[in-house]
A and B are shown apart, each in its own frame.
Chain A
Amino acid sequence: MTVAVEPARVFGSGIRRREDPRLLTGTARYTDDIVLPGLAHAAILRSPHAHALIMRIDTSRARTAPGVLGVFTAADTDGILTPIPCCWLLPGSKLKTTPYHPLAKDAVQYVGDPVAVVVAESPYQAQDALELIDVEYEPLPAVVDPQKAAQQGAPALHAEAPDNVAFHWTVTGGDVDAAFKCADVIVRERIVQQRLIPNAMETRGAVAQFVPATGELTLWNTTQNPHIVRFVMSLVTGIPEDRLRVIAPEVGGGFGSKIAQIPGDFITVFCSMKLGRPVKWTETRTENYQSTTHGRDHVQEVELAATRDGRVTGLRCTVWAGMGGYLSTAAPGIPTILHGLMLSGPYTIPAVKEDVYGVYTNTTPVEAYRGAGRPEATFMLERMMDRLADEIGLDPVDVRRRNIIPPFQNGHDVITGLKYDSGNYEGALAKVLEHVSYDALRAEQKAARDKGRYIGIGVSLYVEICGLGPSQVAGAVGFQGGLWESAIVRFHPSGKVNVFIGASPHGQGEETTFAQIVADELGVAVTDVKVVHGDTDATPMGWGTYGSRTTAVGGAALAIATRKIKDKAKLLASHLLEAAVEDIDYSSGRFFVRGVPDRHKTIQDIALMANVAWNMPEGMEAGLEATSFYDPPNFTYPFGAHVAVVEVDPETGHVTLKRYVAVDDCGPQINPVIVEGQVHGGVVQGIGQALWEEAVYDDTGQLLTGSLADYAIPRADMLPDIEVLSTVTPSPHHPLGVKGIGEAGTIASTCTVYNAVIDALEPFKVQSVRMPLTPERVWRAIREGAERGAGAPPLDTLGAP
């Protein structure tokens, strides 16, 4: 006896990532692995000063050093390279851009600002020669804190912005001043979203091969967006876009740090143009820390108005967002469009207002870092929710429930002007609370406290904006590009499929998930689909992988392309089966005459016949291939609810994360194992901000956390098992209903852990501790609380002598 088993659907199955064997066995090929005949090596001399005038550069000794092929400064690039453009020109914000030269011209604006480049036969010789370049600087006063930089009398970086304010952007909704006038309760907090270093495992780098005979450039570049690199590289170097090929080989992580167009890439291309030889530049980790873009860096002053029974009536804030020495590629959009518009989160808040000042400081330029603007918004809101709960004596969960937006399937208008696509915030909250047995957890916390143990529970909700986005909106908010994606699906005669996408995954796993989409839509084996990306000569245009948009936008383009293929295949099947097209049914890769399943053609049969084209219907073109350009009608809005449980050691201030539970809703999951992996990584990066990470500059602009020995990134043994759950609320406007999961974990986890730690310190009446929550900061907060008294446990009960 045989039992017919419905084949398991490949969409939604947790198949293994096809990327992993090459990544795990060390055979993946990164930019630094590219070796070309005649390859020369570039090394960049960087400013040791945070702010200084360049008085004189003497390269004569370096030029005659062994192996040196060329030494160049801004004087050499003049007239050949234009300044690097900022690509997010925020309208209505008095945006002041300044010339951002690949090699600093008259002044340097941060430690690490490129001043000169040496090209030599070997990287050792290039490094040796760097030490022979004499630069005379006239140091100027520096400023590193964005709020201080915006104050009167602060050292000015650029003549174009004498007050250091690069832009002033506002968002308002409702009558916020009235809300504060009538408020029963107002809570205020000053929050520092400290500066972070993205720490992609692979540092940035480039290999440029300019061929003088043809005027063509091939650039291997570790980037999240090769087509944008091609576009901007063409603008800066004058090499026509059609002669410019950008290849993103294996890219070892980005987290936002490989979006920006940074000086090193242009310098490398310039050297190849100048010398007519291929040139490689690979950042050292020290260079990476000093010169590749950083993230966050907000000073936030937030106030929240509410009724006595916990209904939020207004949210008002001012944010000083550090931009660093220059405006990086997408920088102005991050603390504004991706931050301020998400101010009200998953709650109904009738009135909001935010002022954002983007401020130049003598630091490394700031860009997107996983979450990009949204973690900073979620943190403000979720922090204030806890403050309100504390103020009016309600449980943090109850305060949230009193303000939560009820479930909706198809659109919800938000006070900031956005329209959320779909959401069930209460559902996610209920699920996470049930999973952790919230009431029992609170009882355990109380019992532990009675024994002198300090357990804390943090609960956060979040909703994020991703799937960027409608191109019309991109244009309206000043983004100097489109935000659509494209896909080509091509059947070969043998029935195998290539997919060519404009997006550029770099570790997220879309080679696997996109094959799952194709297999699901077309009924081919997932192993018969190969996804090609990361080469502008091989793939159609795309705007890149960031903002959790690759599946949300590129995946939609792919789904639509497969459906076009199916439509054509059906027509061809009807022709070959000599049946009316209305009588052709489709199931799992087979087209058959309705009611006569034996009269069928498989998709592979059709692919062969379309490719040999022996018997095509009148007017049908040969081949089985489709292209789709997908411009989404709206953003997508994933959401979730997270819970963290921590324990604080009162003797030392150490925080131990005991439990972390994430409930995320990214719509239907193509591959739940990959979703889980994305949540793990995201959560961990957010925890890093709460507990360990900070790029610390001293007052003179020297980066004190200049290496992995000083800058603490999370490691597996510092973390509990992360419990990942989900709910499923499809996006109404996406062809597959999917939303995006790349950043979700990071957006929720920083505030969840932070709130848990503050909750643990409740007996000491601690309301705020600067992040990261190092043992010393927590220990001091405990001591200060104990010394203040007011019911706090006295010092001598804390165990420490």
Chain B
Amino acid sequence: MYAVDFDYYRAGSLADAQKLLGDHPGAKLLAGGHSLIPLMKLRLAAPPAVVDIGRVAELRGVTLSGAAVRIGALTTHTELAASADLGRAAPALAETAAQLGDPTVRNRGTIGGNIAHADPASDLPTVLVALDARINVVGPSGHRTIDAAKFFTGLMTTSLEENEIVTSIDVPVAQPGRGSAYVKFSHPASRYAVIGAAAAITLSGGTCSSVSVAIGGLVAHARRLPSVERALTDQAPSESVVAKAAAAVAADLGRDVSGDIFASAEYRTAVAPVYVKRALLAAAARASAR
């Protein structure tokens, strides 16, 4: 539990952080430290320098602006869970943050750090993908915005370019008739998702006018499930209809599912529809209650 020697820099501002990253090749950004520091202590990561952005105030907080909620990258999971604006705008996201990890992790871990680390079994990426969130980043060539579904590109990899920093995440505000939910099969040791399914449904006149559903945990990165979405769109979300739609997850996953000593790929593939179904039913129930 003793990291290799490294240099430590604290950034006072976003601009400062960009400069420090430019000045120190190979440096890693440190936010809440709940992904990077364990890797360093196990000597699985040994960056020559870390740039601590933990106190950059401009990257923190949840603000409601029109059709979206903007979440600063340094907002902790505890802050997400406690945000009344987020609770109204995207309840699935606030609830997911509330049950992520344990209190220490939630108090220190940040949404920006979480998504930049892109652990395949993390919860937030799945929810952000299902909610059509957009990731705002800044880098040497300026600002850009990336759809969550395009942000996660592989096992612990994202579409962030060299020295790009996540600054905020925009989540659309749920309109009346829309409900969302996240249902998770937690690993009993790590509490990471063995399978995580997030769904958002808009109901109009008793049928699903829009369905978005994402899955994570069992594939290299969170991804949408277009076959399931198609199968449920314009349908009334009865239990049997939803179950049938959820079965289409097999087509979306193909042979991409990975397994481990706790849960094999075969098993995960077989029970994935159960979690997708449960997420869809929960989202539909909420949609009809709004």
Q: Taking beta carbons and an 8 Å cutoff, which residues of A are in contact with B?
A: 123-124, 127-128, 284-286, 651-654, 691-692, 696, 704-705, 708-713, 718, 774-776, 779-780, 799-801
Cβ B189 vs Cβ A801 within 8 A: no
Given that A779-B267, A801-B247 are known contacts, is A709 also in contact with B1, CB under 8 Å in the complex? no
What 1/0 flags go to B109-134 for Cβ under 8 Å of A?
00000000000000000000000000
Cβ A128 vs Cβ B274 within 8 A: no
Residue in B closest to A131 when the chains form the complex, CB atoms: B43
Sample (30) of A-B pairs whose CB atoms are under 8 Å apart: A123-B2, A124-B2, A124-B3, A124-B5, A128-B4, A284-B1, A285-B1, A651-B271, A651-B274, A653-B271, A692-B188, A696-B261, A705-B261, A708-B189, A709-B189, A709-B190, A710-B189, A711-B189, A712-B189, A713-B189, A774-B263, A776-B263, A776-B267, A780-B267, A799-B243, A799-B274, A800-B270, A800-B273, A801-B243, A801-B246
The smallest beta-carbon distance between B189 and chain A, in angstroms, is 4
**In the bound complex, CA of A775 to CA of B5 (Å):** 42
Residue in B closest to A709 when the chains form the complex, CB atoms: B190
Cβ B274 vs Cβ A800 within 8 A: yes
Residue in B closest to A776 when the chains form the complex, CB atoms: B267
SS of B interface (majority): loop
CB-CB under 8 A from A775, the residues of chain B are: 185, 263, 267, 271
Residue in A closest to B3 when the chains form the complex, CB atoms: A124
Besides A286-B42, A801-B243, 20 new A-B residue pairs in contact (Cβ under 8 A), listed by A number? A124-B2, A127-B2, A128-B4, A651-B274, A652-B271, A653-B271, A705-B261, A709-B190, A709-B192, A710-B261, A712-B187, A712-B189, A775-B267, A775-B271, A776-B262, A776-B264, A776-B267, A800-B274, A801-B247, A801-B273
Of A653, A704, A799, the contact of B261 (CB 8 Å cutoff): A704
The smallest beta-carbon distance between B74 and chain A, in angstroms, is 25
Residue in A closest to B275 when the chains form the complex, CB atoms: A652
Cβ B274 vs Cβ A718 within 8 A: no
The smallest beta-carbon distance between B68 and chain A, in angstroms, is 33
The smallest beta-carbon distance between B184 and chain A, in angstroms, is 12
The smallest beta-carbon distance between A277 and chain B, in angstroms, is 20
Q: Which 5 A-B pairs have the closest CB atoms?
A: A712-B188, A712-B189, A801-B247, A709-B190, A127-B2
Of A284, A286, A705, A801, the contact of B244 (CB 8 Å cutoff): A801
Residue in A closest to B271 when the chains form the complex, CB atoms: A652
CB-CB under 8 A from B192, the residues of chain A are: 709
What 1/0 flags go to B1-31 for Cβ under 8 Å of A?
1111100000000000000000000000000
What 1/0 flags go to B226-270 for Cβ under 8 Å of A?
000000000000000001101100000000000001111001001
SS of A interface (majority): loop
Residue in B closest to A718 when the chains form the complex, CB atoms: B188
**In the bound complex, CA of A704 to CA of B247 (Å):** 33
CB-CB under 8 A from B185, the residues of chain A are: 652, 654, 775
CB-CB under 8 A from B263, the residues of chain A are: 774-776
CB-CB under 8 A from B267, the residues of chain A are: 775-776, 779-780
**In the bound complex, CA of A711 to CA of B1 (Å):** 18
The smallest beta-carbon distance between B278 and chain A, in angstroms, is 9
Residue in B closest to A692 when the chains form the complex, CB atoms: B188
The smallest beta-carbon distance between A441 and chain B, in angstroms, is 27
The smallest beta-carbon distance between B218 and chain A, in angstroms, is 12
**In the bound complex, CA of A704 to CA of B277 (Å):** 32
CB-CB under 8 A from B270, the residues of chain A are: 779, 800
**In the bound complex, CA of A774 to CA of B244 (Å):** 27
Cβ A710 vs Cβ B190 within 8 A: yes
CB-CB under 8 A from A652, the residues of chain B are: 185, 271, 274
**In the bound complex, CA of A713 to CA of B188 (Å):** 8
CB-CB under 8 A from A286, the residues of chain B are: 42
Given that A124-B2, A712-B187 are known contacts, is A774 also in contact with B273, CB under 8 Å in the complex? no
Residue in B closest to A694 when the chains form the complex, CB atoms: B261
**In the bound complex, CA of A704 to CA of B261 (Å):** 8
Residue in A closest to B38 when the chains form the complex, CB atoms: A709
**In the bound complex, CA of A710 to CA of B188 (Å):** 8
Residue in A closest to B246 when the chains form the complex, CB atoms: A801
The smallest beta-carbon distance between B287 and chain A, in angstroms, is 22
**In the bound complex, CA of A696 to CA of B189 (Å):** 14
CB-CB under 8 A from A708, the residues of chain B are: 189
CB-CB under 8 A from B274, the residues of chain A are: 651-652, 799-800
CB-CB under 8 A from A712, the residues of chain B are: 187-189
CB-CB under 8 A from B244, the residues of chain A are: 801
Residue in B closest to A287 when the chains form the complex, CB atoms: B1
The smallest beta-carbon distance between B273 and chain A, in angstroms, is 5
CB-CB under 8 A from A128, the residues of chain B are: 4-5
The smallest beta-carbon distance between A508 and chain B, in angstroms, is 26
CB-CB under 8 A from B1, the residues of chain A are: 284-285
Of A127, A692, A779, the contact of B271 (CB 8 Å cutoff): A779
**In the bound complex, CA of A651 to CA of B243 (Å):** 12
Residue in B closest to A652 when the chains form the complex, CB atoms: B271
**In the bound complex, CA of A713 to CA of B190 (Å):** 10
**In the bound complex, CA of A286 to CA of B1 (Å):** 9
The smallest beta-carbon distance between A489 and chain B, in angstroms, is 43
Residue in B closest to A772 when the chains form the complex, CB atoms: B188
CB-CB under 8 A from B262, the residues of chain A are: 710, 774, 776
Question: Counting chain B CB atoms within 10 Å of each CB, which of A653, A692, A776 scores highest?
Answer: A776
**In the bound complex, CA of A284 to CA of B243 (Å):** 47
CB-CB under 8 A from A799, the residues of chain B are: 243, 274
The smallest beta-carbon distance between A29 and chain B, in angstroms, is 20
The smallest beta-carbon distance between B243 and chain A, in angstroms, is 6
